[in-house]
Amino acid sequence: MGKIYFPQFKNGKDGFKIHPGLTILDYAQKLKVKINAECGGIGKCGKCIVRIEKGQENLNPITSAEKKFNLPSKYRLACQARVIKDISDIIVYIKEFGEYEILKYGMERELEICPLFKVKNGKVFKNGKQIDFYKGGIYGLAIDIGTTTIVFDIVDLEKGDIIGTIARTNPQVIYGNDVISRIEYAMVDKSEKRFLNEQERKQKIYELQKVVVDMINEEIDKFDKKICEKIYEVVVVGNSTMRDIFFIIDISTLGKIPYEPLNYEGLVKKPDEIGIKINKNGEIYGLPLIGGHIGADIVADILASEIYKEEKICMLIDIGTNGEVVIGNKDKLLATSAAAGGAFEGVNISCGVGGIEGAIKEVKIINGKVYYSTIGDKYPIGICGSGLIDLLSEMLKNGIIDEKARLKNNEFYITGDIKINQQDIFQLITSKSAIKTSWRVLSKIYQVDIKEIDKIFIAGGFGNFINIESAMRIGLIPEVDKNKVIKIGNGALEGAREVLLCYERRKIAEEISLKVKHIKINEIEKDFDYLLAENMYF
């Protein structure tokens, strides 16, 4: 019996026994090998490209879906390449291989240290009750579970210091690159074209959850094998889907009308219920949700930005696959979400890639010549979100596209083989329009003119890397005085850290989740579809 190998990955080096009937993507998922499957494995995105170094004779012929991508010899889509024979070993190399450039830091504001777990007289207490003996330190984890990336701080709960920050690609990308793909994975059996029953859904949720927990445990162990018994509290944030997967809660209600979670409240679990290897007397806390797809990460953003304390009206924008906008002050806060899609993360863009090494991240066009820089100063392999925003802005500025986003020629080359076409531009302006329509309509509902906004907080890793002038020029964020725009970095991680270090901040987070009013602008704004179309233009 032959084996299938993924030599680029530790999990794939020893191989896996061939079982005819499975796709290359199925094997990657079984081995927890990272592979970009943005469309969830239906052959549409073309991102799961692999090179079959050996064993092509075991595979099915190229499918009609693959033919659309004009793949070179030896290259296949992992979701389409199915093993139909077992006559030799198969060796697979993944094309888009590399860690994302991940924003690890927030503002790291100085806080009063008042954690849930404290040390006194050689003993560890929780809420005044002894739960353990002091082992030389007490620590906590602040975890931001993003759709694409996971970042967590290891925090000294006695001093308040961050002793380590770990950032990794979310291993769930093997099941799809957006929340919709993962919701579908936990709801639908695509091969049998049926909805899963309750027990089957639970198993799928556990599968999605376990790859994240295993990665966190592995990284903690790499950092310090002896620290696990000294970690007493974990604070988790993420969008509604990511938070609920982590706490093994059914996410199927997020995939059907009215798209609401089963539980909005903050969650408290024991370590053995979640599977994280920390002190058995510890606690795992998940921040509450606001509503729909406005999750615990936005509660943390609001906490970190302190928009909830502002006298004047401010705005918070978190740009991502599911963008969020918050507007208000200490008296009233409104929030909405925007199904922006993954275009600004490279999804459905012909030469688009995530923020990995070799991705073009900055673009300038001077006298018709394109200048660019890449992540890690590596050879360019594609263009990521910040580069795409720069590119649109520069093309508009130089008359290469007009105000209706029409490209004068059908294609525009950034390098000899990296280009953008009219269909790519359509995908980008559709995503841009979703974000722009959200902040425009929310401002209208709040009855405030954009010019009256005192501050605009930009949250998240993607927002931190974008060029503000470029984002304003294409209409992604409001065109205001640049001094009003404040990048708060990874606000979600910062908010989680603040809750970890000060129990009072947990109470504030709970209050924030109840105070913010969730607005579904597509249901309230009668001209919503018209505005979406209008906001596609520059």
Distances (CA, A) of 72 to 1, 68, 76, 96: 29, 12, 8, 15
**Over the stretch 429-487, which tens digit does the pLDDT of each residue have?**
999 999 999 999 999 999 999 999 999 999 987 777 899 999 999 999 999 999 999 99
Q: What is the pLDDT of residue 103?
A: 52
Closest CA to 285 of 6, 538, 87, 503: 503
What angle is formed at CA 480 by the lines to CA 476 and CA 482, rounded to 5 degrees?
95
**Over the stretch 98-107, which tens digit does the pLDDT of each residue have?**
555 555 455 5
Average pLDDT over the chain reads 91
Q: What is the pLDDT of residue 59?
A: 94
d(CA 317, CA 324): 6
Residue 180 has pLDDT above 90, yes or no: no
Residue 394 has pLDDT above 70, yes or no: yes
Q: Alpha carbon 393 to chain centroid distance?
A: 24
**Over the stretch 260-281, which tens digit does the pLDDT of each residue have?**
999 999 999 999 999 999 999 9
Tokens of 143: 């975890």
Q: Alpha carbon 523 to chain centroid distance?
A: 26
Residue 70 has pLDDT above 90, yes or no: no
Tokens of 2: 């032959």
Phi, psi of 92, deg, nearest 5: -120, 130
Closest CA to 237 of 308, 290, 177, 277: 290
507: number of Cβ within 10 Å: 12
Domain architecture of the chain: domains with CATH: 3-94 (3.10.20.30), 117-297 (3.30.420.480)
Per mean pLDDT, which range of 2-6, 346-350, 403-407 is the poorest?
Answer: 346-350
Mean of the pLDDT values across residues 380-395?
93
Mean of the pLDDT values across residues 203-226?
94
Counts of helices then strands in the chain (DSSP H, E): 15, 27
d(CA 506, CA 498): 8
Mean of the pLDDT values across residues 194-216?
95
Residue 179 has pLDDT above 80, yes or no: yes
Which value, to the nearest 10 degrees, does the dihedral of the CA atoms of residues 446, 337, 143, 127 take?
Answer: 50
* Helix intervals (H) in 280-421: 296-305, 385-397
Strands of 56-133 (E only): list them.
75-77, 90-94, 117-120, 123-126, 129-133
Q: What percent of the chain has pLDDT over 70?
A: 97
d(CA 468, CA 440): 18
d(CA 141, CA 288): 17
Segment of 167-181, 252-266, 330-344 carrying the highest mean pLDDT: 252-266
Per mean pLDDT, which range of 22-31, 214-223, 424-433, 450-459 is the poorest?
Answer: 22-31
Mean of the pLDDT values across residues 122-149?
94
Decide the pairing of beta strands 517-518 and 333-338.
parallel
Strands of 100-230 (E only): list them.
117-120, 123-126, 129-133, 139-145, 149-156, 162-169, 188-189, 194-195
Q: What is the pLDDT of residue 296?
A: 97
Distances (CA, A) of 209 to 81, 221, 276, 327: 27, 19, 11, 32
Confidence of residue 243 (pLDDT cuts 50, 70, 90): very high
Q: What is the pLDDT of residue 465?
A: 84
d(CA 447, CA 277): 49
1: number of Cβ within 10 Å: 7
d(CA 471, CA 445): 23
d(CA 443, CA 256): 27
Between 70 and 496, name the one with better pLDDT. Answer: 496
Identity of the residue numbered 199: Q
Closest CA to 238 of 282, 286, 272: 286
Mean of the pLDDT values across residues 512-528?
94
**Over the stretch 458-468, which tens digit does the pLDDT of each residue have?**
998 777 789 99
Confidence of residue 175 (pLDDT cuts 50, 70, 90): confident
d(CA 454, CA 176): 38
Residue 97 has pLDDT above 90, yes or no: no
Give strand pairing partners of 206: none
3 state DSSP class of 460: coil
Identity of the residue numbered 236: V
CB 37 within 8 A of CB 47: yes
What is the 3-class SS of 230-261, one letter each residue?
A: HEEEEEEEECHHHHHHHCCCCCHHHHCCCCCC
Q: What is the pLDDT of residue 29?
A: 85
Mean of the pLDDT values across residues 288-315?
96
Residue 211 host element (H or E): helix 198-223
Closest CA to 435 of 446, 445, 443: 443
